[in-house]
Each structure stands twice: as C-alpha cells, then as structure tokens.
Amino acid sequence: MLKDMEATAARMRELIVAMPPHDLLGYIYAQHIMRAMADQGAVDEQRKPDGRGDLINNNQFLLEYVHAVLASDAAPEDVTFDETRCAELYELGRKLQEQAMFFAMATSADTKDGVFGPDTADIEFRAKSTWVVLRGNRYQVLEGEFYRYVLALHDDVLKEVYGVGAAEIAEGFQAMADATRSGHADAITEMMKQFEAAQTFAAAQDKPLQDVMDAWAAANAEQSNAAGRAVDDMFRGGIANVSRHTKLPPTLLADLAYRRGEETEFFAAGDFAGTPYRTLPARKKPLIQLGSDYYAVDPCFARDAGYRALLHNLLQRKPDYKKTFEDRQKTMSEAAFADILAAQLPGATVFQEIYYKDPASTQWSENDTLILVDDVLFLVEAKAGAAATIASPALDFGRHAQSVQDLVLKAYNQCERFFNYLNSADEVPLYHLVDGQYEECGRVRHSDYRVMVPIGLTVESFSPFSTYCKELPQVEPLLGRHAFVSLSVDDLFVLKRFLPTPGEFAHYMEVRQAVAGMRRAHLFDEFDHLGAYLTKNRFDQDIAEQLKDGKANLVIWDGMSDIVDRSFEGEDWESGPFPTQDFPEEVLKLLGALDATRARGWLSAESHIRDLNEEGRINLAKMLSDLRQTLSQHSARYFVLSGDGQPLFTWLQRYGQEIDWTKVNDKASAAALATKALNVIGVVAQVSADGTYHQAQSFAVHIPTARMEENAYIYEDAARMAQPRRLVNLKQPKNVIRRVKTKEPGRNEPCPCGSGLKYKKCHGR
C-alpha cells in the first residue's frame, strides 16, 4: 500500500515537472472554475456543501502537488503542455487520495491503546485522514480581518522589518484571497471592457476589428496591457500571481516563498516519499517564486502557513524581538474572546490574568480570562502558539498527540482547576499579581451563574480536534455538568456575525456546550455546530434522542455548515443579512426589550424563550399580541406559557403606569402552583397598546411549599387558574394558561384576581 502511494506520487511528479507551470496552473484553475459553475447550477439536494473529504474535488489537491514539485525541482529546459497528461494527472490525484485514505484506515485499525486510551485508534485515523483531505476550510473573505487582528500588536516591528504594517499586510492577504476567489470573473469583465473599446475604435475607423487591432493597441497601450493581464489571469494562472494582485513588498513575499528546487525533504528517499503523509511544502511556505514574481499556487494554505511563515521569518530577521513577541502574542490571544465579541458581552466584567491559591496544592495558580455577564460565566484559556504541528501523523503520531495534549488538555486542566476552586466555597476571592504582590481584585460566587462555560481558545483553527476533544478519556464535564468547549479566533469572527446579540450568543453557547458534553456525537467543526443551531435550534436534544437507549453507537452530522458557507459567497456577501432563527415579530419585540433593559437575569429569560420550538414561539406571539391589544382597557394582563418544560409567566403592564410587584409576584406564584412547576421564569414587560415594548425584565418566581393562612389566597387563585375552562390548549408541546376577562367588575366588588381586596384597591386602581 505504501509502495503504491509512492509510485503514484512519483508519476505525478514526472508529469508536473515536464509541463510549463503557468500553463498547468491556468488549466487547473480553469477546471476549478468549470467545476464551481457546475456546482452552482446544481439543485440544492445535489450540491456539495463543502470540500471536506471530497475525493472527486481534485483541483485543490493537484495545486498542492504542483506547489510541491515546483518547490522541489529546478525548472527543466524543455517543457511542453499536454492536455492528455493533465487528464492522467487528475486521475492520479484521485487515486493517490484514495490510497492515502485506505492507508489511514489500515494503519489505524490495529491500534489498541495509546495516549488517548481506547479512543486512540479512532483519533489516529481522524488525524491521518484529516491530514490528507482537509484543504483550508476557511472563509476567504475574512482573511484580511484575521490578519489585521492577529498582527496589530506587531505593527511597529513589521514596519521596521518589511516597511509595511499590520493593516497593509492584512490588505495584501485579502487581495491574495480575492484574486483566486473572483479573479476569473474580474478577468472576463476586463476582457469584455477592452473588447468593446476595440470595437468602438474599429467602428470609428470604419474597418473590420482584425484590421485595426495593432493600431488600437498602439494608441491604447494601457488598455492593451490590461487586456493582456486579463488573458494571463484567465489562461496562465495569473490569478495566483501575488506580485501583481497585492501590494506586499518583495522582501515579505520572499520570506513566504520557495525558489525552484529549494525544498529537499518532500521527495527525499525514504518511507512516504512524495506522498500526502510527508509534510507538503505548502504547509511551510505557501508561495513559489517563478521568475521575478511570486505565486500563491495553493490558495488555501495561505492563511495558516502564511501566518506561521511570516512570524517565523519576522523573528529570524529580528531575533532580539522574541521575548516581546511572545508577550504580545499572549496579550492578543488572551484578550481576543472579549475583544472580538464585545457586542455579545455588553457590560461584562472581564478579569485577565487572575490568580488564586489552589486549595488542592496550596500553590498560586493563574488563569487567562474570566468573563462574567449577567448569569453566564466564560472562562477562557488561550493558546497563542500554532494550532497544530506541521509534522505528519503518519511519520510522528506521537508529536500530533502531544500537540493535542498541549492545546486541549493543558487548557482543560487549567479550567478544571479553576472550576474546582470556584466550587470550594460559597464565595472565592480573585487576585492580580502587581509588582510581585497578590492583590485582591474581585470575588465570585458560583451560585450566581446559571451557565458556566470553560473554553480553550487557539489563534488558528484546530479542526477537527477542537470538536473531537470531548472523546479524550481525560475530558469530562467539569464538576460533572460543565462541558469543555474548544474554539479558535477564526471561529469568533464568524460567530459574531451570525449571533449579533448577547441573547443569541449566550443561547448558542449553551446548546454548543450541551453537544460538547456528548460523546459519540460528531460534527466536523464550529461552523457545522453553528449551522445546526441556526436550522434546528436545540439540536443537542435531537442528537440526544438519536443516542438514547443505544439507538446509535455513533451519530455524525455532516454538511450542517452549508447555511453558513453560502453566506460568504458572492460579491455582495456583506450587504445581505446573515441567516438567523425565525421568530414572530411580537416575540422579537419582547426579546429586544429584554436586551435593551438588560436587568439581572435577562439572559435566562432570553434563553427560555429561545428554547421554544416553532409552535411554542407562535403560541407566545399570539398571547403577547392578543393581550397587548387590550392594554388600553386594562392596566395589566398576564398569561402562562407552559408545556413540556419550564413555564414562562409573562406580565404585560401598560406603559406609564407603575408596576404593582406584590400582585405580579402573587400571580406568578399562583401560576406556578397551577402548572405544578418546580421552576418558573417570570417576565414583566412595559408595553403600549400600539405594540411598542419599552422595557422588559425577568424576575424570580417564588413557589410556596406549604399552604398557610397568610398565603391561602395564592392557593385559591392557583385552583381557579387550574380549572379546565381557564386552560387554552394551543397544541403540544406548548400549552397556554391565561386569565380571560369578560366584564369589568364594579369598583366595590371583590377583585376577580382572588386577592380578597375590592377591585378599586386591587386591579381597578
């Protein structure tokens, strides 16, 4: 099997080196465009949602091999383009991928145990197969944003070394991505523009176009050159020419590029020579120098390989910057979560570099970032280094295993230590280290937080290990209930766009954490989780049902990121709204009021509302709308939305009138007794009859545990609420209990709410 791979790779090398690189690149990119056009024309059911593991998507694989051969072999004098050989090259590429995948299966199956315990064989297979098929699963339109953020702290040194700063470098990497993303379309547009100009010139001369082309070119040298560049982009791989399409300085491009024949390891004699299980040169340096220009032959490794190569060469050119560089990287990575997601964490208390005395070891311990927002706690452990080793798992699986341990288990263990500290007392102090002294900077009570999410954050994407880390034997939910989540800075730039409000983001993280605690439930990366959330909402419950009672030994959800992927397609991707979950307008108004008010517990109320399925959301909207429209006749209305879960008690108060909190609390308590609920979410909204929600806040609902003389009226009210004629069944799983008024009582009559007071002193005030 290994020899077959090596033979296939050797033949691919022969074919690639014998053809002119510009023509070969032009052919492969043209095939890529034709494939993309075919995919775009396919119906949704047939459309490939992504390129992960797609063995027939050969273009990207071939581009990496073209890069590898150009980096490894000097240019021969005699080269000839041959389309027949290109067809053979495509077939060999498909064959080599298949051979590599079979090798991954065969060599992993016999692994009985290892650093990952009984899951070592499975993780070894995933490491090997991902090494072969993962081809830059990124959104190219976000390249510049990523580089701008991660390089900002190095701006002064970048300018000193390369003459350009973080913003200019980020612009260059975005231009690099844009050239391969839309370069063919731009080239066609340019060619049509110049063709029309030449036709106009010919018409003015009253001559055939072919007779005036030389004259037109002479008279319009700049336009003629533009047409020539467009032809080069279309047919000779010019879209990969970063010297043309970016303003990055040659010194920087040279640091990211191989010269022809410079790479000596990929095809060197020995096991795996030239196979995908060697380290592809594109993983080290993403560019190739052809003549005086630099080419991004493979566009998908430009993100991670470019980032690593840039920082490596920056330190090579300025070695005395190493300590400051490491400090700045640490600062950037530790601040990233709260910084990038600032809009999702309004008013959050953020502690960075917090210290505490670990009760177990009695030693001082440190954690990176603690974020407290309402009743949600995020503990972020950031890793500023590379997300994964560039060593092949086939050559050195132990090094891969160590990479996982460094990036996942170290972060997990640090989070575990802090959660144990939180749980060691009702309230624990936090400290900052100031001039060698530990100074208290805050106190935290774990009982204040309904949701606590421990997070390991890497700068680069760590897929698929970031989502598979829950399979590690050592990774268990902290304190038995708080599952560990692994994210990257890449992920954050996407999450902030699709989950723009605090309520959306917090609820997603709740669901995401629930899935992170489920073994044998696999989604490839964060964008699959996000897509599943947008389309299914509580998809953790769907997965739990699939795993229930041993119905399935393994659940894999594939292609869920399609809804996310499509959002970054097209030139106008920024102008259109991003997909979001569907809510009736009335419910969105209530959620908006909760977010605008942001009283303590608002995220809990939002979470409960966002938990509702489509039917529950419709039911809630109907009750809100029906009762809100009666506020011109009544100062307040209330209802209870109940069903399979925690009931929602909602009190609508006419805007401008003072809320009688005693009544609110009594009615909420009675509703809790009527529904026999163990816990009830309470929401009070101040609303105008015209539909304006001015304020909304949640409140704790007290549920009496025993009937006594002083609370007997609450039990009596609960009995009235529980009468069948007062129940409005709006289909399961969500039922609605509401109070229905048919006639205004007299002012001196007993108030129908059951308070025992006269109406004029109760609801009639």
pLDDT of residue 743: 40
Which H/E stretch holds residue 443? Answer: strand 437-444
Task: Assess contact for 727 and 640: CB atoms under 8 A.
Answer: no
Query: In the chain, what percentage of residues exceed pLDDT 70?
Result: 89
Highest mean pLDDT among 7-11, 460-464, 724-728: 7-11
pLDDT of residue 385: 61
- Of 35-44, 138-147, 384-393, 627-636, give the lowest mean pLDDT range: 35-44
Angle between helices 221-235 and 209-219 (to 10 degrees): 110
On the question of pLDDT at 610 being above 70, the answer is: yes
On the question of pLDDT at 519 being above 60, the answer is: yes
What tens digit of pLDDT does each residue of 300-313 get?
Answer: 777 778 999 999 99
- Alpha carbons 133 and 54: distance in angstroms, whole number: 7
According to DSSP, the residues that pair with 443 across neighbouring strands are 429
On the question of pLDDT at 43 being above 80, the answer is: no
Bigger pLDDT: 630 or 127?
A: 630
pLDDT of residue 142: 93
On the question of pLDDT at 593 being above 60, the answer is: yes
Q: What is the mean pLDDT of the chain?
A: 87
Closest by Cα among 638, 644, 567 to 613: 644
Highest mean pLDDT among 175-189, 379-393, 525-539: 525-539
Residue 101, CA distances (Å) to 104, 105, 126, 350, 438 in order: 5, 6, 10, 45, 53
DSSP 8-state assignment for residue 409: I
Residue 220, CA distances (Å) to 204, 216, 359 in order: 15, 6, 79
Edge-to-edge strands, sheet with 376-383? 437-444, 428-434, 349-357, 364-373, 376-383, 451-458, 485-488
- Alpha carbons 111 and 763: distance in angstroms, whole number: 73
pLDDT of residue 390: 62
What tens digit of pLDDT does each residue of 645-658 get?
Answer: 689 999 999 999 99
On the question of pLDDT at 764 being above 60, the answer is: no
Residue 160, C-beta contacts closer than 8 angstroms, at least 6 positions apart: 318
Closest by Cα among 268, 264, 278, 266 to 2: 278
Give burial (CB, 10 Å; 0-12/13-18/19+) of 438.
Answer: middle
Bigger pLDDT: 30 or 35?
A: 30
pLDDT of residue 58: 78
Q: What is the mean pLDDT of residues 353-367?
A: 94
pLDDT of residue 131: 83
Query: In the chain, what percentage of residues exceed pLDDT 90?
Result: 64
pLDDT of residue 763: 44
- Alpha carbons 64 and 25: distance in angstroms, whole number: 11
pLDDT of residue 302: 79
Give burial (CB, 10 Å; 0-12/13-18/19+) of 227.
Answer: buried
Closest by Cα among 450, 522, 674 to 53: 522
Task: Assess contact for 487 and 461: CB atoms under 8 A.
Answer: no
With cut-offs at 50, 70 and 90, classify the pLDDT of residue 749: low
- Alpha carbons 692 and 742: distance in angstroms, whole number: 25
With cut-offs at 50, 70 and 90, classify the pLDDT of residue 185: confident
Q: What is the mean pLDDT of residues 626-638?
A: 94
- Of 22-31, 104-113, 383-392, 492-501, give the lowest mean pLDDT range: 383-392
pLDDT of residue 120: 76
In sequence order, what E strands does 631-730 have? Answer: 636-643, 648-654, 681-687, 693-700, 727-728
- Alpha carbons 129 and 531: distance in angstroms, whole number: 23
Q: What is the mean pLDDT of residues 683-689?
A: 95
pLDDT of residue 48: 46
With cut-offs at 50, 70 and 90, classify the pLDDT of residue 51: very low
On the question of pLDDT at 417 being above 50, the answer is: yes
On the question of pLDDT at 130 being above 50, the answer is: yes
Bigger pLDDT: 208 or 389?
A: 208
pLDDT of residue 731: 38
User: Roughly how many angstroms between the first and final C-alpha of the chain, as a whole number?
Assistant: 86
What tens digit of pLDDT does each residue of 73-114 get?
Answer: 999 999 999 999 999 999 999 999 999 999 988 888 877 777
- Of 118-132, 232-246, 408-422, 627-641, give the lowest mean pLDDT range: 118-132
What tens digit of pLDDT does each residue of 706-734 get?
Answer: 999 999 999 999 999 887 654 444 333 33
Q: How many CA atoms lie within 13 A of 378 on its CB side?
A: 31
What are the domain boundaries of the chain?
A: 2-317, 327-568, 585-739
pLDDT of residue 635: 94
pLDDT of residue 272: 92
Highest mean pLDDT among 400-404, 507-511, 712-716: 507-511
Angle 671-674-680 from CA coordinates, rounded to 5°: 45
pLDDT of residue 738: 35
Which H/E stretch holds residue 735? Answer: strand 734-738
pLDDT of residue 388: 55
On the question of pLDDT at 386 being above 80, the answer is: no
Backbone angles phi and psi of 111, in degrees to 5: -70, 115
Highest mean pLDDT among 215-229, 299-313, 591-605: 591-605
